[in-house]
Amino acid sequence: MTRVMHKNDINFTGKIVWITGASSGIGEALAELLAGKKAKLILTARRADVLATLAARLDTAVKTLPADLYEADFKALTTAALNAFGNIDIVIHAAGVGQRSLAAVTPLQVYRQLMEINFFAPVAITGQLLPLCRAHMVVIGSMSGLMGFPGRSGYAASKHALKGYFETLQVEQDVPVTIVSPGRVQTNLSLSAITASGEAHGVMDEAQLKGIPVMECATRILKGVARQKKHVIIARKEQYLYWLHWWWPRLYYKIAKKYSFVRDK
Ligand SMILES: NC(=O)c1ccc[n+]([C@@H]2O[C@H](COP(=O)([O-])OP(=O)(O)OC[C@H]3O[C@@H](n4cnc5c(N)ncnc54)[C@H](OP(=O)(O)O)[C@@H]3O)[C@@H](O)[C@H]2O)c1
């Protein structure tokens, strides 16, 4: 069914959109959809070659801005992003890294890495931009940012922190912020997820493969952003677990404990 456009909906044509995590998955799908709407794009991720190939494929104005958000110079990065087209209308914080390790065996360094990429990077970018422009912040959180999940202690912590920061921004300032909480989406997230050794998981989890198709997720994200929604949940079964977490906590704990990230393989 075609959704009727609301008169206050954002029209993405000509909007300058900075997407982090644009080389893959949700960020890449958003870049493709926004290029179709003739937004002007600034694309960030570590893999410069992948970004360049994507940029060449997109039929719109694109600038690539490769960076490692684990250890970026955020002042220089945001200045370069602002200079790319002279302003920024929307920032989509999609860069992120997953986790596959139980809390009991996870060293602090793994938590630091997850927090640097998933939490401190979006906060640093936002902090740099707030005094300079009134960009709409779109944050890709997670259902794990709304409840705990086995094997995701650091990931869940980083996404809870992200929600805490951006929800506070929503009540502090007149800056549009959309917090997106997806359940499982068909992307490479499980392949690059960090394990207790700090190495990549390197396995495409079966559950990840059964997730929401990435284009469907990206389409729903853009609908939420166009409508300037404060929160968008995009999930299948996970959202029932979330509601149980509030309304029937004993059942949430019973079900969530049965999930094993080992069994996910
Ligand atoms: N897929 C899911 O089931 C799911 C569910 C809920 C939330 N999410 C969230 O959605 C976002 C996008 O993930 P995805 O599912 O699309 O996974 P993905 O396909 O693995 O994409 C992750 C993106 O983040 C970038 N990235 C990772 N580390 C980076 C770093 N140090 N510096 C700069 N960029 C970095 C990657 O690019 P490079 O490797 O080129 O740097 C890639 O573009 C993440 O925040 C994730 O937590 C995903």
Q: Are 206 and 264 in contact (CB under 8 A)?
A: yes
Cα gap 261→203, rounded to integer Å:
11
Q: How confident is the model at residue 265 (pLDDT cuts 50, 70, 90)?
A: very low
DSSP string, 87-99: --SEEEE-----B
Which residues lie below 8 Å from residue 74, measured CB to CB, with a gap of 6+?
121, 124, 125, 127, 128
Mutate to test the pocket of ligand 1, among 20, 26, 190 (most ligand atoms within 8 A of CB): 26
Residue 142, SS3? coil
**Ligand 1, atom 44: closest residue by C-alpha:** 96
Alpha-carbon separation of residue 115 from 64, 69, 127, 212 (angstroms)? 24, 11, 16, 25
The closest-lying atom of ligand 1 relative to the alpha carbon of residue 192 is 20
| Structure-block tokens of residue 204 | 């495409």
Q: Considering 111, 155, 242, 252, which one is annotated as catalytic? A: 155
**In the sheet where 231-234 sits, what is the strand order?**
62-64, 40-44, 16-20, 90-93, 136-140, 177-182, 231-234
Q: Are 201 and 192 in contact (CB under 8 A)?
A: yes
Q: Which amino acid appears at position 198 of this protein?
A: G
Cα gap 72→233, rounded to integer Å:
30
- The domain segmentation of the chain, as residue ranges, is 16-258
The closest-lying atom of ligand 1 relative to the alpha carbon of residue 118 is 45
Indicate the class that CATH gives domain 16-258: alpha beta
Q: How confident is the model at residue 237 (pLDDT cuts 50, 70, 90)?
A: confident
pLDDT exceeds 70 at position 104: yes
166-188 in b/e form (b: 16+ CB < 10 A) is bbebbeeeebbbbbbbbbbbbbe
pLDDT in tens, 217-230: 999 999 999 999 99
Query: What spacing in Å lies between the alpha carbon of 139 and ligand 1's midpoint?
Result: 12
The closest-lying atom of ligand 1 relative to the alpha carbon of residue 69 is 32
pLDDT exceeds 50 at position 263: no
pLDDT exceeds 80 at position 7: no
pLDDT in tens, 47-62: 999 999 999 999 999 9
| Structure-block tokens of residue 151 | 């094997």
pLDDT in tens, 116-175: 999 999 999 999 999 999 999 999 999 999 999 999 999 999 999 999 999 999 999 889
The predicted pLDDT at position 261 comes to: 57
| Structure-block tokens of residue 193 | 């997820």
**Ligand 1, atom 11: closest residue by C-alpha:** 94
Does the active-site annotation cover 155? Answer: yes
Q: Which residue blocks in 116-203 are alpha helix, DSSP H?
A: 121-129, 153-172, 189-192
The closest-lying atom of ligand 1 relative to the alpha carbon of residue 212 is 3
Query: What spacing in Å lies between the alpha carbon of 1 and ligand 1's midpoint?
Result: 30
Residues in contact with ligand 1 by the CB-under-6-Å rule are 21-27, 45-47, 50, 68-70, 94-97, 117, 140, 142, 182, 184-185, 187-189, 192, 208, 211
Query: What spacing in Å lies between the alpha carbon of 248 and ligand 1's midpoint?
Result: 32
The predicted pLDDT at position 260 comes to: 63
Query: What spacing in Å lies between the alpha carbon of 35 and ligand 1's midpoint?
Result: 19
Mean pLDDT on 200-208: 90
Burial of 100 (0-12, 13-18, 19+ CB in 10 A): buried
Which residues lie below 8 Å from residue 164, measured CB to CB, with a gap of 6+?
none
HEC string of 11-58 equals CCCCCEEEEECCCCHHHHHHHHHHHHCCCEEEEECCCHHHHHHHHHHC
